[in-house]
Amino acid sequence: MKIDITDVVSNENKRVTKEVEIDFTSFESKSGNFPIIKKTPFTLQLTNEENKRMLIEAEVDVTIEIPCDRCLTPVAEEFHIEVSREVPIGECEAASEDEDEFDYVDGFNLDVDRLIYGEILVNWPTKVLCKEDCKGICRICGANLNTQTCDCQKTELDPRMAAIQDIFNKFKEV
Ligand SMILES: [Zn+2]
Ligand SMILES: [Zn+2]
C-alpha cells in the first residue's frame, strides 16, 4: 500500500503514526517466487526531524515459505524486521524517478510495499534448512534421505570416491 506523507514532510517536527500493511502475497526475487504465508498489519511511525530528515520506524513480522536448501521441503521462515530509516526531506520532494536507495518515497507518497520488500531482501537468510541435520536428497535417484534410504552411494562409489564425495558434501553445506 501507499500512504500520503504530505503532513509529515511539510510540518517541522511533526510525528505521525499509521496502521499499515503490505499488499504483496508472495516475495519475488532473482532466486524465485516465495509465498507469504503470514502477515499482520503493523504500526509505522513517521517523524519530521527539523525539516531535514524524515525518520521511518516500524516493526514487522512476516512469515515466508522457503524451500529447504538440501531437500526442498517448504520451510516457514519467520522474519522479524525492525525498520529504522532516515530519508532526507529534499529527497521526498524531488520525486525522482531513479532506482536509488530511497525508491520507496515518491513525491509525497511512501510505498510501504517497496520499503518492506527491501527490508526482507537484506534480511534474507543465507541458508534455509528444514532441520539442522537435514540429510538432503540423493543426487542420483532423488530420494528424500530424511524419509527414505537408497543404495545409490553404496553401489556406485568405491571408498576413495566416497571420501571425495564427503568433502564435496561438506563444501556444498555452506
Ligand atoms: Zn531439508
Ligand atoms: Zn539414491
pLDDT given at position 33: 96
Q: Which ligand is nearest to the CA of 139?
A: 2
pLDDT tens, position by position, 76-116: 999 999 999 999 987 655 555 555 678 899 878 999 999 99
Sort 13 into a burial class: Cβ within 10 Å, 0-12 / 13-18 / 19+. Answer: exposed
Q: How far is the CA of 54 from the centre of ligand 2 (A)?
A: 57
What pLDDT, on a 0 to 100 scale, did the predictor assign at position 39?
96
- DSSP structure string for 24-93: -SEEEETTEEEEEEEE--EEEEEEEETTTEEEEEEEEEEEEEEE-TTT--EEEEEEEEEEEEEEEHHHHH
pTM for this predicted structure: 0.79
Give residue 155's pLDDT. 54
Nearest ligand to the C-alpha atom of residue 143? 2
User: Cell 527414505, residue?
Assistant: 148
Distance 134 CA to ligand 1 centre (A): 5
Spacing, Cα 153 to ligand 2 middle (Å): 7
Which residues, 6+ apart, have CB-to-CB distance to 9 below 8 Å? 48, 54, 89, 92, 93, 108
User: How remote is the CA of residue 133 from the centroid of ligand 2, in Å?
Assistant: 18
Q: CA 83, CA 57: separation in Å to the nearest integer?
A: 5
User: Which residue ranges of the chain lie beneath pLDDT 50?
Assistant: none
Question: Which residues neighbour 167 within 8 Å (Cβ) at sequence distance 6 or greater?
Answer: none
What cell does 57 get? 520506524
Q: Which three cell numbers, joined as nine digits, stand for 69?
A: 536448501
